[in-house]
Structure 1
Amino acid sequence: MRLKVCGLTDMNQVRQLNDWGVHFCGFIFYPKSPRYVLNNNTTEAIKRVKGTINKVGVFVNEKEDNILKMVDECGLYLIQLHGDETPRTCENLSNYVTTIKAFRISENDNILWKIKDYQDVVDIFLFDTEGVGYGGTGKKFNWNMLKGLSIRKPFLLSGGIQPDDVPELQNFMQDSVAKDLFAFDINSKFEIAPGIKNLALVHEFFNQVNPL
């Protein structure tokens, strides 16, 4: 199974992930985030990171022109929209770059209703946990809410995934919804500090989920 490591701020760590064969790295371009990648990096430094790892830019209610500017200046391969972006905005951007739309899930949500207007205008969905504001919460939503659904689009599973969740993820993959599961997305539960990952934990987790 593919893995995305999000919220990275250290380009040397990104290079290490690339060497291991990790599939995606996420850079947060949201100034209010403690993992805002441009606090300590230039766009040129991000662009210089090469390899097979796919660079994903995470944006929250950002202007379309600014997003496309960052795609060009940083050499991003995908974008992830984590705010309240409209289907029209998503469609406009997906004409230029592979686009992930994130949905923050709460216990009472009708997931199929929530995603229906985005079904034909983005490339990939991501399901995360509802929280205050737009950042990750480090908490899980109820993954059972996805079971039995037909998402009909590749999706990333996010929201508080931690190192000892492999058995639960293996169980999730037995459900019919997993036919559309594209990747796991990890972040804060694998950190030493915001934006700095515990690479030993990431490497162990990757070795466990990569063969799934």
Structure 2
Amino acid sequence: MIRIKICGITNEQDALLACQLGADALGFVFYERSPRFISVQKAQAIMAKLPPFVSVVGLFVNASKPFIDEILKQLPLDIVQFHGDESALFCQSFDRPYIKAVRVQTREDILMAQHDFATARALLFDAHVKDTYGGTGQRFDWGILPEQINMPWVLSGGLTPDNVGEAVTLTHALAVDVSSSVESEKGVKCPQKLAAFFEGVHRAR
């Protein structure tokens, strides 16, 4: 089973549709510079409507510890995703499973992250785009992925309904993460693109 995370959820309709299609996790962005930023109040209302067994992921970019602590008090986040330049020590300080995003340029970035973030629940491999943290729609060279990655990992960055099947086949990824390529506009998912993405993953199984 290939796990699927739909990130950048901003409204109830998109959240429930993703769940109906079979999403394993939904991502909520608490980074104010993102067009997919969501308030705590709006996130609370959406999360209250989610079915059981769907993981709720909170995404942060270089946020302060007090800011993250406050959100963790108010929202039932299952996993914290760090998408900035956070240290392993910082990521571990919240007593919550975490995912560390790696903005990949070279194979060395992946190998170093395995060493530095060995306590992560998983690493998320995304494209490196200068001054941008995720949601760019850009992909990195999947060919630089090491043959052996000694911890769980998630493939992200530039995945689309058209290429996700190829991506899974080539990389043997067991989990994928998508945001911008299944949108009709920034922050709003397109039902047709979302359904096509799931179909692409299923065909690769």
Query: Is the shorter-chain TM-score for this pair beyond 0.5, marking a shared fold?
Result: yes
**1:183 match:** 175
5+ residue gaps, structure 2, are none
State the TM-score, normalized to the length of structure 2: 0.89
Q: Give 1:110 deviation, angstroms.
A: 4.1
Residues 73-107 of structure 1 deviation map (CA, whole Å, 9 limit, x = unaligned):
122111100011111111212xx222000010114
| 1:37 paired to 2:29 | no
Report the 3-state secondary structure (helix = DSSP H, G, I; strand = E; otherwise coil) of the residue aligned with 2:162.
helix
C-alpha separation between the residues in 2 aligned to 1:186 and 1:64?
26
Q: Give 1:68 deviation, angstroms.
A: 3.0
**1:157 match:** 155
| 1:101 paired to 2:100 | yes
C-alpha separation between the residues in 1 aligned to 2:168 and 2:140?
17
CA contact (8 A) 1:2 1:22 kept: yes
CA contact (8 A) 1:34 1:195 kept: yes
4+ residue segments displaced more than 6 Å? none
Residues 108-165 of structure 1 deviation map (CA, whole Å, 9 limit, x = unaligned):
744202431111x2111100011122422211000111041x2211111000101110
C-alpha separation between the residues in 1 aligned to 2:114 and 2:168?
25
- State how many pairs are aligned: 201
Identity of aligned residues (%): 31
Q: Residues 50 and 166 of structure 1: is their aligned pair in 2 closer, same or farther, counting only changes over 3 Å?
A: closer
- The amino acid of 2:163's aligned partner reads D
C-alpha separation between the residues in 1 aligned to 2:96 and 2:37?
21
**2:6 match:** 5
Q: Residues 115 and 66 of structure 1: is their aligned pair in 2 closer, same or farther, counting only changes over 3 Å?
A: same
C-alpha separation between the residues in 1 aligned to 2:84 and 2:63?
8
**1:56 match:** 57
State the TM-score, normalized to the length of structure 1: 0.86
